[in-house]
Amino acid sequence: MRRALAACAVLALALASAAQTSAERAAALSFDPSRLSRAGEGRWREWKPTDQLPDSVHDALALALTAYRESDYAAALVHLHAALAREPDFPAALYQLGVAHFRLRRYGDAAAVFERFLAVAPGELGATQALAHCYYSLGDYARAQAHYERVLALAPTSAEAWRGLGLALLRQGDPSGALARLERALELKPDHADALAWRAQALFELGRSEQALAALGRAIELGPHEPRPWFLLAQVQSELGREDEAERSRTRFRELSAIEQEVRAQEGLLLHDPRAVEPLARLLKLHRAARNPEGLGEVLARAVRLAPRTLELQCESLEAADALGRRELGAQLAAELEQRFATSRAAWEALERHFAALGDSSAAERARASAARL
Amino acid sequence: MALASLCLASLCLASAQSPQFALDPTALVGVHTTCGARDKRFILEVNGGGLALADFDGDGDLDLVVVDGSTLERAARGEPGFPTRLFLNDGSGHFAAAPAAWAIAPSRWGMGCAVGDVDGDGWLDLYVTHWGRDQLVRNRDGKGFEPRELACLGDERRWGTSAAFLDFDRDGALDLAVANYLTFELGKVPPSGGDCRWKGHDVMCGPQGLAAEHDWLLRNTGEGTFVDATATAKLTPASAAFALGCVTLDYDRDGDADLYVANDSTPNFLWDNQGDGTFREVGLQRGVSHDMNGKEQAGMGIAVGDLNGDGRADLLVTNFSGENNALYLSRGARGFVERSGPAGIGGPSLTRLGWGTGLHDFDLDGRLDAFALNGHVYPQADEPGTDTSYAQPADFYRGLPDGRFAVEPLFEGAPRVLRASTVGDIDGDGDLDLVVLELDGPVLVLRNRARTAADGAGARWLRVELRSKSRNRFALGAQVTAVWSAGQRTAEVRTSGGFQSSVPPEVHFGLGSAEQLERIEVRWPSGRTSVLEHVLGNRLVRIEEPDA
């Protein structure tokens, strides 16, 4: 009886803590970054990223980092606001706050925070590539261009900044300028699939369709699951009079585009509810269908961190581990599946597929028999 | 002296920065529409009503139709919504409620409208889309409307949005395309506050997750009545889409009427008329289904115009916030290419949610301009972190000599939640005015300042009306090419365009300082042609179709 009461007390505490966190998250999400305290004005002018963290913000920043790693950006905002309440304008916290807003796709708020970061630590211009990304995402291509150029003046080997600059120019109707910058990005990072695809776009706009075709071939080789290169490929092939090939590219584009649309929707759900199980399971299925190992690996890592997992998420995680050839993880997930969901036919069917994929026919047969009994 | 010069310079600057349009509060007084409740808990409540400008009473000026909505409470009680109303123009661009003979019985929940002469009697009739059965009202010789009952006007759950008259089978009688959005059933769609979230905020549900409806094609039997030809004309894509805008055009200049449909959250459709009574969907193939990134958008309104004078239709589509308005430039037989970024309108439209739109030469300088009415669907857009807002400024895209647009305010005043628009010269001064609908607010008349501005007196224009010998009396689908010293431009006679709206069946050209056109060439829907030479500007020209 006493043990039951104690358990209830623990549960009540956990619930109270969860409720408080939820309120804090809502408050953090409602906070207008332009209202951040400026009490630290001028204090961090000489700050360097290598400086030791003040003790007063150490724990909050560590918690923010943990939340960030778990893709819980709202929780990261809570901890970063706490850090900034203790040390107003502390540059590292400001910077992370901007990144968290950016990951939440709140580009206006992210830009406001990064602008503040630059006002506080003007020497860290090179670290604010994300500010240029914000302006690009807000459609302010001229300002994005200006900022990419400032970043490159300090960090001329940033392939990402060259790519961004190329895109900003392309959006403003300068395909020649864009091409030069995208080629610079590719000199620095030859296998940058996105830069390759945008280079193809610039070439296409310049009427150099054969070269665009070659660039797209490489982009698709590097990222066959991305719909955009297929979309452009169809246009280029059509321009070259290769209509049959163009139609095949359109078909592949339609398949990948439908998957990508749902991926975006599920990721949008996870942004605001990072522990939601259904979107994770759905994402695993979608990335597997698109044969996207990077996406599958990222979502699988998130799914594995979640516990307890639902039957659907456990099965999808197992399928994902098998698809990625991660045998050790697959074995662990299969054992958990057998242990926790032994009365589920779907679990045994997943196990049968798992063992069959491994070539373990006797285990697969045993799983099939178990499924049949249910 | 220095101070005087400075003041003069300031005045010049102020004049140059005045918006192209000015709100005229006296032109239409006290006309409001309703589309549900202001908290917008259901998708049915967010799109607003429709507008049309056309000369219904035959007195030579443009009259105004306002399509009104309803409330969920009225719908739940089985009561009709607010009626569609006609306002007659006194010739100066001031509108007053039409007499009772023009009254239209209220139906369930009005959305949009289309204007066309369905019976070939020379008088313009009206089609009104609804959530529920649509309405067709016949114009009785300019003396009033009378309802026409048709079997093919839908059921109580179907939600129609825009509509477009066209003669797809070239039999001389106007057929009708209807854009359908989705199936909405009271009590079956969850309200906001459930699982439907946008940028972390609880919002109304839809359209994703609701059942999209196929669009319709209604064939005119020649008797002024219609039969459903959707299936026989193969206007049935593999999956239905959430259609909001539709417009007719002959994009490939093969002489038959094609159809472009803007879909919400799904790729847009370009229905290529095969010339044998059927259509084929070629949106992706022709480059008008997605944005430049290959992403489907949430298409709302559509504008059509020959931007570069190549004789082919270019398209402007307004879209959701976070998506650019798409500008599809024609590349001849190869289709279109999306160029909103280089044109200067892609970036500025990313934070807007656009609806009514149009491509016309509003400032009469010989180049096409455009506009986009904006306003979000979610009142929650005013919450933190959305990068947009519920009420938004309306944008004027002024055409520049280099093919780009300068983005300017459309008119002065605070941001509003705007929806439908219609375009026409309501005061007969030669420039094109606008009527716009504010969601749950007034219908506003925006007068064009092109002819009244200090430097506008010299700007010249030409309006062209066509009269066909077929039952398609207003020659919808005819191509009119104006050639003058500074260039040439082709326009198609159509009444469809914008969002849930209809425009007058005529074409309008701005001529800059050119006093006359070298010639006007007309390609009639019948295939006949007319050529007029040395046509003086600043006038309305009516051209009759020649005998065979």
> Could you tell me which residues are beta bridge partners of residue B521?
B481, B531
Percent with pLDDT over 70 in chain A = 95
Distance between A163 CA and the closest CA of chain B, angstroms: 15
Model pLDDT, residue A319:
96
Tell me the pLDDT band of A3, cut-offs 50, 70 and 90: very low
Chain A residues in contact with B328 (beta carbon < 8 A): none
Q: How far is residue A3 CA from its own chain's centroid?
A: 43
Secondary structure (DSSP) of B423-481: EE-TTSSSSPEEEEEETTSBEEEEEE-TTTSTTTTT-EEEEEEEE-SSS-TT-TT-EEE
Q: Do B404 and A173 touch (CB under 8 A)?
A: yes
Using omega within 30 degrees of 0 as the cis cutoff, is the peptide bond preceding B207 cis? yes
Q: In this structure, are residues A265 and A105 in contact, taking their beta carbons and an 8 Å threshold? A: no
Q: Do B324 and A139 touch (CB under 8 A)?
A: yes
Q: Which residue of B has its CA nearest to A100?
A: B385
Tell me the pLDDT band of A38, cut-offs 50, 70 and 90: confident
Q: Do A231 and B339 touch (CB under 8 A)?
A: no
According to DSSP, residue B121 is labeled S
d(C-alpha B155, C-alpha B263), whole Å: 21
What's the N-to-C CA distance of chain A in angstroms?
38
Model pLDDT, residue B17:
65
Contact status of A140 with chain B (Cβ, < 8 Å): yes
Residues 6+ apart with CB under 8 A from A103: A68, A71, A73, A271
pLDDT tens sequence across A172-192: 999 999 999 999 999 999 999
Chain B residues in contact with A239 (beta carbon < 8 A): 334
Residue B535, helix vs strand vs coil: strand
Contact status of A242 with chain B (Cβ, < 8 Å): no
pLDDT tens sequence across A221-256: 999 999 999 999 999 999 999 999 999 999 999 999
What letters, b where the CB count within 10 A reaches 16 and e where it falls short, cover A221-252?
ebbebbbbbbbbbbbbbbbeebeebbeebbeb
Task: Mutate one of A32, A141, A231 to test the B interface: name it (highest B CB count within 10 A).
Answer: A231
Q: In this structure, are residues B336 and B288 in contact, taking their beta carbons and an 8 Å threshold? A: yes
| A80 CB-contact burial (10 Å; exposed 0-12 / middle 13-18 / buried 19+) | buried
Tell me the pLDDT band of A127, cut-offs 50, 70 and 90: confident
Tell me the pLDDT band of A42, cut-offs 50, 70 and 90: confident
Beta strands across the sheet bearing B50-54 = B95-97, B85-89, B63-67, B50-54, B501-502, B496-497
Contact status of A171 with chain B (Cβ, < 8 Å): yes
Q: Position of tokens 């120019």?
A: A169
Q: In this structure, are residues A99 and A105 in contact, taking their beta carbons and an 8 Å threshold? A: no
Residue B374 vs residues A206, B207, B255, B268, B324: alpha-carbon distances, Å: 33, 19, 34, 20, 12
Domains, chain A: 1-42+52-120 (1.25.40), 123-224 (1.25.40.10), 275-374 (1.25.40)
What are the residue ranges of helices labelled H in chain A? 2-30, 55-69, 73-86, 91-103, 107-120, 129-137, 141-154, 159-171, 175-188, 193-205, 209-222, 227-239, 243-272, 277-289, 293-305, 311-323, 327-340, 345-358, 361-373
According to DSSP, residue A36 is labeled -
Q: Do B384 and A230 touch (CB under 8 A)?
A: no
> Is pLDDT at A23 greater than 80 in this prediction?
yes
Distance between B325 CA and the closest CA of chain A, angstroms: 11
Q: Do B200 and A104 touch (CB under 8 A)?
A: yes
Q: Which residue of B has its CA nearest to A198?
A: B293
Task: Mutate one of B284, B334, B383 to test the A interface: name it (highest A CB count within 10 A).
Answer: B284
What count of Cα atoms within 13 Å lies in the side-chain half-sphere of residue A141? Answer: 23
Contact status of A269 with chain B (Cβ, < 8 Å): yes
Is the CA virtual torsion B177, B179, B182, B184 positive or negative? negative
Q: Position of tokens 């309703």?
A: B34
How many CB pairs below 8 Å do chains A and B form together?
A: 83
Chain A residues in contact with B283 (beta carbon < 8 A): none
Q: Do B341 and A170 touch (CB under 8 A)?
A: yes
Using omega within 30 degrees of 0 as the cis cutoff, is the peptide bond preceding A308 cis? yes
Distance between B326 CA and the closest CA of chain A, angstroms: 13
Contact status of B23 with chain A (Cβ, < 8 Å): no
Chain B residues in contact with A108 (beta carbon < 8 A): 385, 387
Residue B309 burial (CB count, 10 A): 17
What's the N-to-C CA distance of chain B in angstroms?
70
According to DSSP, residue B385 is labeled T
pLDDT tens sequence across A331-358: 999 999 999 999 999 999 999 999 999 9
Q: How far is residue B440 CA from its own chain's centroid?
A: 19
Chain A residues in contact with B294 (beta carbon < 8 A): 227-228, 230-232, 253, 257
> Is pLDDT at A279 greater than 80 in this prediction?
yes
Secondary structure (DSSP) of B209-242: TS-B---EEEEE-SSS-EEE-TTTTT---SS--E
Task: Mutate one of B282, B352, B387 to test the A interface: name it (highest A CB count within 10 A).
Answer: B387
pLDDT tens per residue across all 548 residues of chain B:
333 333 333 333 334 568 999 999 999 999 999 999 999 999 999 999 999 999 999 999 999 999 999 999 999 999 999 999 999 999 999 999 999 999 999 999 999 999 999 999 999 999 999 999 999 999 999 999 999 988 888 888 999 999 999 999 999 999 999 999 999 999 888 888 777 889 888 999 999 989 999 999 999 998 768 999 999 999 999 999 999 999 999 999 999 999 999 999 999 999 999 999 999 999 999 999 999 999 999 999 999 999 999 999 999 999 999 999 999 999 987 899 999 999 999 999 999 999 999 999 999 999 999 999 999 999 999 999 999 999 999 999 999 999 999 999 999 999 999 999 999 999 999 999 999 999 999 999 999 999 876 555 678 999 999 999 999 999 999 999 999 988 899 999 999 999 999 999 999 999 998 999 999 999 999 999 999 999 999 999 999 999 87
Tell me the pLDDT band of A206, cut-offs 50, 70 and 90: very high
pLDDT tens sequence across A285-334: 999 999 999 999 999 999 999 888 899 999 999 999 999 999 999 999 99
Distance between B197 CA and the closest CA of chain A, angstroms: 8
Residue A296, helix vs strand vs coil: helix
> Could you tell me which residues are beta bridge partners of residue B44?
none
Kindly state the helix (H) or strand (E) to which residue B41 belongs, with its residue range: none
Model pLDDT, residue B454:
57
Residue B179 region, left (φ>0) first, then alpha (ψ -120 to 50), else beta? beta
d(C-alpha B433, C-alpha A191), whole Å: 53
Task: Mutate one of B292, B328, B337, B404 to test the A interface: name it (highest A CB count within 10 A).
Answer: B292
Chain B residues in contact with A238 (beta carbon < 8 A): 285, 334-335
Model pLDDT, residue A6:
45
Residues 6+ apart with CB under 8 A from B422: B51, B52, B53, B64, B356, B434, B435, B498, B501, B502, B503
Contact status of A173 with chain B (Cβ, < 8 Å): yes
Q: In this structure, are residues B80 and B74 in contact, taking their beta carbons and an 8 Å threshold? A: yes
pLDDT tens sequence across A72-103: 999 999 999 999 999 999 999 999 999 999 99
Residues 6+ apart with CB under 8 A from B71: B34, B36, B37, B81
Chain B residues in contact with A231 (beta carbon < 8 A): 290, 293-294
Residue B249, helix vs strand vs coil: strand
Least confident interval from A23-32, A361-370, B387-396, B514-523: A23-32
Q: In this structure, are residues B510 and B459 in contact, taking their beta carbons and an 8 Å threshold? A: yes
Angle at B504 between CA B501 and CA B509, to 5 degrees: 115
Residue A82 burial (CB count, 10 A): 18
Model pLDDT, residue A272:
84
CB nearest B385 (choices: A29, A170, A171): A29
Contact status of A107 with chain B (Cβ, < 8 Å): yes
Residue A49 vs residues A101, A213, A348, B206: alpha-carbon distances, Å: 20, 43, 52, 46
Phi, psi of B146 (to 5 degrees): -135, 140
Q: Do B348 and A271 touch (CB under 8 A)?
A: no
